[in-house]
Amino acid sequence: MRGDKATTDPEDPIVRAMKPPDLSQRLPYMYGTVTRGGPVYSRIPTQKDLDEHEPSLDKHIKKWRDDKVSGASYGLELWYRGAKPPAFTAWEAWERRLSDDAVPWYLKDGGAVPDLSGLAKGGVKIDQIDRRQGAAFIESFLWEGRRYNVTTDLRVVPADRYRPIRGSELVGVRIGVDVEFPFALIRKKGAKRWTWSASKKKMIEGEDLAYRSAVSLTGKQKIVGDVLHYETKDGFWVDDRHASRLDPAKRMPKWGKNGEKWLDINITKQTLVAFEGEKAVYATLVSTGEDGLLEGARTTQKGIFRIHTKHVTTTMDSDAVGEEFELRDVPYVQYFHEGFALHGAYWHDAFGTPKSHGCINLSPEDARRLFHWTEPAVPDGWHGAAKPLTGTVVFIHP
């Protein structure tokens, strides 16, 4: 419940309206990022409301229709959250002024959302969305040709002002099952299969290597033209400009020897390896702070930490001039030091490249798997947990 108000009444309107996150999915809700700013409503707006609060609606809808990247033709199925989408397109729905039967009970017959946000009693337009914002949704429905979504804090927003989010399809590899040490993760596009020519004393360029694939290595390496290359078990070579080599830990830390779970995060390689004691079990690509190894506002803290607090979702934002953003419902968040956390990133797919403001960005599925694997455990049905001294170790190094 909101603020200092709580209830155990299952018939409370807010309780009835809410829908729990689906923790079996890489994204626990439907997600979108704002492409065109606009109003937030407490109820389905009437034509009079639209005339008042969206006077340029016709112009906006034309842009939405013609936008091939995030407009009417993109991602309609994502608003159906796994259910079969209709045969008609989003634009056909608009032209035919279609409605569906998915309108939430509290919005029928002119009803307003239960006041979870604390804004619902402020009239029809209760807020504003702008670019550099993202949100999650628990409802999506058609009304007179236009699709509306309901946010997790029960606000009504036009779906045409958001780009629906699929989330990265990146999934890490299981060490000992999918791959064995040593191996390399292809972290950048453009990686090639190189063949060494002894007669020409140079590498001969071959076929492309799949982006983000795992490649088994022999352990041999060679520097050619100031570029380090790793030999693969298939007999070709891959260079370290595009690949990160992973090997067994050279020195096992005490927490590993003690049998604890721990995470090894390498900033230079943009990799994470999960250990159960002395056994490496999982590896994936991450995005650490944009400032890399430099000291700056977007630097990932190096050191030894423990996960102390976890949330299924939480809001992350910044009011720094020129860098303002608000990302609601960031999924699978695990804080390990002050405001630094491991978490899923639904707004980008650049894993393997420094991208964050200092946190450890994970693909949604990697974030979900690690969230369920690390300590402290979040009990079923809970939204979070905190246990400062005994959480999973996070070792971050250059």
pLDDT tens per residue across span 146-190: 999 999 999 999 999 999 999 999 999 999 999 999 999 999 999
pTM, to two decimals: 0.94
Q: Where are the domains of the chain?
A: 13-164, 182-246, 254-397
Which residues lie closer than 8 Å to 318 by C-beta, 6 or more apart? 324, 325, 357
Report pLDDT digits (tens) over 107-128: 999 999 999 999 988 799 999 9
Lowest-pLDDT range of 53-62, 117-126, 222-231? 117-126
Rounded to an integer, the average pLDDT of 249-267 is 96
What is the number of other CB atoms lying within 10 angstroms of the CB of residue 17? 18
Lowest-pLDDT range of 131-135, 168-172, 267-271, 275-279? 131-135
Rounded to an integer, the average pLDDT of 211-217 is 98
Res 342: pLDDT: 98
Q: Contacts by 318-323 with C-beta closer than 8 Å and gap 24+?
A: 318/357, 323/357
Res 7: pLDDT: 78
The chain-wide mean pLDDT, for the chain, equals 94
The order of strands in the sheet holding 261-266 is: 173-174, 279-285, 271-276, 261-266, 393-397, 303-306
Cα separation, 205 vs 218, whole angstroms? 20
CATH code of the region 254-397? 2.40.440.10
| Position 357, amino acid | H
Cα separation, 126 vs 43, whole angstroms? 10
Looking at the DSSP bridge assignments, the partners of residue 111 are none
Res 297: pLDDT: 67
Res 324: pLDDT: 56
Rounded to an integer, the average pLDDT of 291-310 is 86
Q: Please report, to the nearest 10 degrees, the dihedral formed by the alpha carbons of residues 28, 370, 267, 226 taken in order.
A: -100
Percent of the chain with pLDDT over 70: 96
Rounded to an integer, the average pLDDT of 298-322 is 86
pLDDT(292) > 90: no
Q: pLDDT band for position 2 (50/70/90)?
A: very low
Peptide bond between residue 388 and the one before it cis (omega within 30 degrees of 0):
no
Half-sphere exposure of 371 (CA within 13 A, CB side): 36
Report pLDDT digits (tens) over 30-39: 999 999 999 9
**CATH among 1.10.101, 1.10.490, 2.50.20, 2.30.30 for 182-246:** 2.30.30
Parallel, antiparallel, or unpaired: how do β-strands 393-397 and 261-266 relate?
parallel
